Amino acid sequence: MGTPVSRVRGGSETVTINGVTLPEARVRDHMPETLREVADLIGVAAAVRLSQRFGGRRCYIGTNPEGSALEDCVGPDAARVLSWYYGAGETTFPRGESVDRYARDQAILKDRLAGMSCGALAEKYRLGERRLWEILAAHRAHEAPCGVVPIPESAPAREATPHAAGRATSARAGNARAGFDGAR
């Protein structure tokens, strides 16, 4: 196949995905294993671009990728590395949906910290409010895993109390008002 091409080094330590700038190390942690291997070859940012453009579809890699769609996507150096590594033929790259979800969740956290309501977030990100609360709760449980400032402790009680616990408390209060003490 020829002489191995040296790996392409990424110059930055951050990656921008859908307008959200994230640390490369965190993005790499959320990649599927196959995409991590590609990232080791061509860098995290190029691997993300490759996944977004060709993920889940067959991509033809020629022996000379000059002027190809692959070169347009990842650049000439990375295209040569992929051409050498995979050889001529078709290859399917992973979609990297977990990376996209990670970027979306970080965007949600930043917007929430900026004061957006849950209803506005649900509309913007096309998610249900319940899923948004789950994302916020997971963030609090992991204490800002990607450098986003944690939600302050002075957040409204509705955010701090799980919905099921709130319903159970109100049901007990309603039963007490009705004179039911739970004994049969």
Judgement on whether residues 105 and 120 belong to the same structural domain of the protein? yes
Stronger pLDDT, 86 or 176, i.e. the higher one: 86
For the chain, give percent helix, strand, coil, nearest 5.
55, 10, 35
Mean predicted confidence (pLDDT) in 61-82? 89
Judgement on whether residues 68 and 46 belong to the same structural domain of the protein? yes
Judgement on whether residues 90 and 106 belong to the same structural domain of the protein? no
User: Looking at residue 115, what is its pLDDT?
Assistant: 92
Which tens digits make up the pLDDT trace of 94-117?
988 999 999 999 999 999 999 999
Within a domain: 74: yes
Which residue segment(s) compose the domain that 111 sits in?
A: 98-143
Mean predicted confidence (pLDDT) in 154-180? 47
Judgement on whether residues 85 and 107 belong to the same structural domain of the protein? no
Confidence of residue 143 (pLDDT cuts 50, 70, 90): low
Mean predicted confidence (pLDDT) in 147-160? 48
Judgement on whether residues 62 and 117 belong to the same structural domain of the protein? no
Which tens digits make up the pLDDT trace of 25-34?
999 999 999 9
d(CA 170, CA 79): 61
Q: If you average pLDDT over each of 71-75, 137-141, 171-175, which comes out highest?
A: 71-75
Q: Assess whether pLDDT exceeds 50 at residue 162.
A: no
d(CA 118, CA 166): 18
Domain tally for the chain?
A: 2
| Distance linking the first and last C-alpha atoms of the chain | 82
User: Looking at residue 67, what is its pLDDT?
Assistant: 85
Q: Assess whether pLDDT exceeds 90 at residue 42.
A: yes
Judgement on whether residues 77 and 119 belong to the same structural domain of the protein? no
